[in-house]
A and B are shown apart, each in its own frame.
Chain A
């Protein structure tokens, strides 16, 4: 999503990334990778638990969970990753956002 962030902002959307790492790791990663969007460290897994993000039992870390919320905060798309690499492509997110924008006009 980093390399296509402009495709999201051009559609009026924001990206928020919640992760299990602590704030120092986040700061380092965000700087190294030049991440342009909001990064929220959740080292206590409070929000991950709230959303039932699944723990990966075989490796450290969590299974990817991706969602799109409309302008009112309702979930319009959600994908619980079945593996560590099970992440929808950008087109999937952008199509959902395009549909939201089309229906709100």
Chain B
């Protein structure tokens, strides 16, 4: 079974907002117009 990856190069990265480890809300789109972003999704740590 293969899944289709809907996220493809050239499109805008879907925006989201999460709280960081200090409880401060970070919105991805707040980086627009400023700098490149490496967005990494971790495997998870134990």
Contact A69 B37 (CB under 8 A): yes
Contacts of A13 in B (CB 8 A): 35-38
Q: A17-B42, A38-B26, A75-B10 are in contact. Are A68 and B36 (CB under 8 A)?
A: yes
| Mask of A15-46 contacts with B, CB within 8 angstroms, 1/0 | 11111110101110110000000111110001
Main secondary structure of the interface of B (DSSP, over half): loop
Contact B38 A66 (CB under 8 A): yes
Q: How many residues of A contact B (CB 8 A)?
A: 58
A contact residues vs B (CB 8 Å cutoff): 1, 8, 11-21, 23, 25-27, 29-30, 38-42, 46-48, 50-54, 56, 60-78, 80, 84, 93, 97, 100-101
